[in-house]
Structure 1
């Protein structure tokens, strides 16, 4: 009996994971409005009944996908173990990580864009998101405080403003890469252009934060 119960739980977890993976791809491609439950079911090798059983509705499934992508990036940030590094080195590592994460996970940006179109109505219902960001802001705040103690960072920098700026430097560049490549007449996604942009991002943040950039 116990073995059967364990198998059912594992099967349920596997099905739920497939549905989330399929929903992530579908919503990233077509947004909430254009995303189709039939297509998600096809991607997940599940049926629509199972989707509604596990997630209740398409809206709730979208909210869960958002929670998952935010959980993933926050978990990856914690894995950097920035608290064990000198503050300046830790900040540069966070800047590099954010840039690389956006490049390797383009669906994160498209999903965030989609939720902004809906004025964050799904995230407003999520207690999970609030907890995730409290921990993240605390982590960045601790990094800044450590830098002040080490004599390398200016005091009084708001960790929320800093995070917004780090994110914005990469976010805007990548979300506007197609129009930007035409307007500025350069391939913004060429390897050298990406390296130059990362170097610019690091220099910009360091000049903002450091006592002696």
Structure 2
């Protein structure tokens, strides 16, 4: 997304086309509604298959309004990606891991990530879609790097506390720990349909999910533990 699109999104907080004032009394709410509907549209159909007409109809707005706020379909898609990551990191920051002992904090982080992914399939599907696009749109984001800094910083501090107290083994990398947690919890949602069909498992069954959650948590803890 170029600077023009970012400028439009910022200006939408205080202005909107005069002919559509009934939809712009609350620009932030309108934009949030558009992104919520667009999230489902992009998750189900990907960027190529998504239709602005359908998003406009579902939000009772117009293509013109959507383009005013986001610049283009690609601009809206990028906004949805950024917001998805922002929401996850915001909830993640509320876990107060620093108040727990290192191993308890690590367990809580893995469990949170598992639960988030399990209950936000659209997030997983949109991230999968962007990987199909080889990350070309996320690469245009001016905020994605900064959004993910706190996540790595939190893991690094947690891990260093664990090493200092003798609970965790030294020599590990915070990004690698993050990648391992993400990989295990992401797969559980991204491949639930194919994996379940092949092995005749109901991946959405409550007992199966609880067992998988516990197994993943134990894997990560044992990997880090001294």
TM bucket normalised to smaller: over 0.9
Q: Distance in 1 between matches of 2:113 and 2:76?
A: 26
Q: Which residue of 1 aligns with 2:185?
A: 170
Q: Distance in 2 between matches of 1:68 and 1:10?
A: 22
CA RMSD of aligned residues (A): 1.5
Q: Which residue of 2 aligns with 1:33?
A: 48
Query: Deviations 1:166-188 (Å, cap 9, x if unpaired)?
Result: 11112112222122122223222
Alignment length (residue pairs): 206
Q: Which residue of 2 aligns with 1:68?
A: 83
Contact 1:154 1:209 in 2 (8 A): yes
Query: Deviations 1:87-123 (Å, cap 9, x if unpaired)?
Result: 1111000000001001111111000001001111111
Indicate yes or no: 2:224 matched with 1:203.
no
In structure 2, relative to structure 1, the CA distance for the partners of 1:77 and 1:10 (3 Å cut) is farther
Consecutive unaligned residues in structure 1, runs of 5 or more: none
Indicate yes or no: 2:101 matched with 1:86.
yes
TM-score (structure 1 length as normaliser): 0.92
TM-score (structure 2 length as normaliser): 0.87
Q: Secondary structure at the match of 2:143?
A: helix
Q: Distance in 1 between matches of 2:218 and 2:105?
A: 14
Q: For residue 10 of structure 1, report the CA deviation from its aligned partner.
A: 4.9
Q: Distance in 1 between matches of 2:25 and 2:36?
A: 16
Q: Distance in 2 between matches of 1:69 and 1:47?
A: 23
Give 2:141's match in structure 1, choosing from 126, 136, 142.
126
Q: Distance in 2 between matches of 1:16 and 1:137?
A: 29
